[in-house]
């Protein structure tokens, strides 16, 4: 029979309160952040920095919208670049792809696109350029607030920058965006029949700056055919399912809500380990002792023999403590009546009970 038990101890109740407060705090903080950000965004579509889907200040939806108003075809790629045709007449745009990885087959597809006459625009820090060029420009954190865009086919114009990012150009690079202090912010290099443009500072392509830098952004994009925005790098995938279309802030809230739910379930659930008894377990009842004594009497056939068996067992256990005498017995916690029964020779009923009590005490002490 499984004894009844409490659901949780006092210590468990304290832990439950702590977990509930932690979970409530996480959910409350997330709701507060979402509430504040919803006002700050003023209905804008939030998402990864540089994405052409994103209408917040750090997105690039304004660039895609500007190109569409100029009747330039725009396509957003949500599959790996080796799984989609890249016509050499198109322009591939990669904005803020620093933390993204490109597989060998994708690098080969982009290389074929460039050597066949394609136009690639990379804005911001990126690992892609190093995979495409043998001697790529080196990105540096030093930046400028403004630079002059100079191209043979375009009039020189100032471009506002974010002050973060410049390039250490190589001899094969043509500097096309240079700040007043000589910092090179953008370069152009021929790759086969195509062109690669790398702008170290992606600020001119963001929504917050496009009202002033729209002409320069369009010139750098140089659309001859369809402009392809690589959105796969920003986490947008064709096979992403429902989860991929949920706004990032809602995804975060759902994950934190799930964590808070787990905390709550652990807090309210039964504690781990064996259950606590609702009542303190006492030593075996007197009936068990009487049954044991009855068994001895039944096997021996006489009260004297039973008393002798109990005395010998008690003396054997006392001998483990050093000596068999009254002092040792008292130090072992035996009561005077049990001591008298041990060192006496009577075999009355009370003596048997006293001997039994002494043996039980020594047994509990493992003496």
Record the tokens describing residue 200, joined without a space. Answer: 């170290």
In angstroms, the first-to-last Cα distance of the chain is: 30
The angle that helices 10-41 and 248-268 make with each other, rounded to 10 degrees, is: 170
Phi, psi of 306 (to 5 degrees): -65, -45
Sequence-distant contacts of 311-316: CB under 8 A, at least 24 apart: 311/341, 311/342, 311/355, 313/359, 314/342, 314/355, 314/358, 314/359, 314/362, 315/342
CA distances from 145 to 33, 139, 157, 185, 273 (A): 31, 17, 14, 11, 63
Give the per-residue pLDDT at 166: 93
Handedness of CA 17, 23, 26, 32 (dihedral sign): negative
Give the per-residue pLDDT at 253: 75
Q: Is-contact 55 44, C-beta < 8 A?
A: yes
Handedness of CA 308, 309, 314, 315 (dihedral sign): positive
Instruction: Of 6, 5, 8, give the one whose Cα is nearest residue 16.
Output: 8
> Rounded to the nearest 5 degrees, what angle is found at the Cα of 13, between the Cα atoms of 9 and 17?
170
Domain ranges of the chain: 47-246, 289-364
Residue-level pLDDT, tens digit, the chain, 367 residues: 344 444 556 676 777 778 778 877 777 777 776 666 555 444 446 678 888 988 888 889 999 999 999 999 999 998 899 999 999 999 999 999 887 788 899 999 999 999 999 999 999 998 899 999 999 999 999 999 999 998 876 667 889 999 999 999 999 999 999 998 889 999 999 999 999 999 999 999 998 888 788 888 998 998 888 999 998 888 787 765 555 556 666 777 778 878 877 777 666 665 555 556 666 666 655 556 666 666 666 666 677 777 788 788 888 888 888 888 888 788 788 888 888 887 887 777 777 778 778 878 887 776 4
pTM higher than 0.75:
no
The Cα 124–Cα 60 span in angstroms is 13
CATH number of the 47-246 domain: 3.40.50
Record the tokens describing residue 32, joined without a space. Answer: 């507060």
Give the per-residue pLDDT at 6: 47
Give the per-residue pLDDT at 282: 60
Q: Which residue has tokens 């009970």? A: 353
């Amino acid at each position: 029979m499984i004894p009844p038990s409490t659901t949780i101890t006092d210590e468990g109740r304290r832990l439950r309160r702590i977990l509930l407060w932690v979970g409530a705090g996480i959910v409350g903080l997330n709701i507060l952040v979402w509430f504040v950000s919803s006002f700050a965004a003023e209905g804008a579509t939030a998402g990864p920095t540089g994405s052409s889907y994103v209408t917040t200040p750090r997105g690039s939806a304004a660039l895609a919208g500007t190109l569409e108003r100029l009747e330039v075809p725009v396509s957003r790629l949500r599959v790996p670049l080796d799984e989609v045709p890249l016509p050499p007449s198109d322009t591939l745009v990669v904005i803020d792809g620093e933390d993204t990885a490109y597989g060998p087959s994708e690098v080969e597809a982009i290389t074929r696109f460039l050597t066949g006459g394609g136009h690639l625009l990379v804005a911001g820090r990126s690992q892609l350029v190093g995979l495409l060029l043998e001697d790529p420009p080196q990105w540096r954190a030093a930046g400028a607030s403004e630079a002059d865009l100079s191209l043979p086919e375009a009039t020189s114009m100032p471009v506002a920058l974010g002050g973060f990012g410049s390039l250490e150009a190589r001899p094969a690079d043509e500097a096309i965006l240079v700040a007043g202090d000589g910092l090179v912010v953008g370069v152009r290099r021929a790759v086969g029949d195509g062109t690669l443009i790398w702008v170290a500072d992606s600020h001119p392509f963001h929504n917050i700056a496009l009202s002033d830098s729209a002409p320069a952004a369009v010139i750098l994009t140089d659309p001859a055919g369809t402009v392809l925005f690589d959105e796969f790098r920003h986490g947008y995938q064709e096979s992403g399912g429902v989860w991929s279309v949920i706004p990032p802030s809602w995804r975060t809230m759902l994950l934190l809500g799930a964590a808070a739910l787990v905390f709550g379930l652990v807090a309210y659930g039964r504690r781990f380990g064996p259950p606590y008894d609702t009542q303190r377990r006492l030593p075996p009842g007197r009936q068990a002792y009487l049954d044991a004594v009855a068994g001895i009497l039944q096997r021996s056939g006489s009260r004297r023999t039973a008393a002798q068996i109990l005395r010998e067992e008690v003396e054997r256990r006392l001998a483990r403590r050093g000596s068999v005498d009254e002092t040792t017995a008292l130090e072992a916690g035996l009561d005077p009546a049990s001591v008298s029964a041990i060192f006496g020779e009577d075999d009355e009923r009370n003596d048997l009970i006293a001997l039994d009590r002494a043996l039980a005490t020594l047994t509990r002490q493992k003496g």
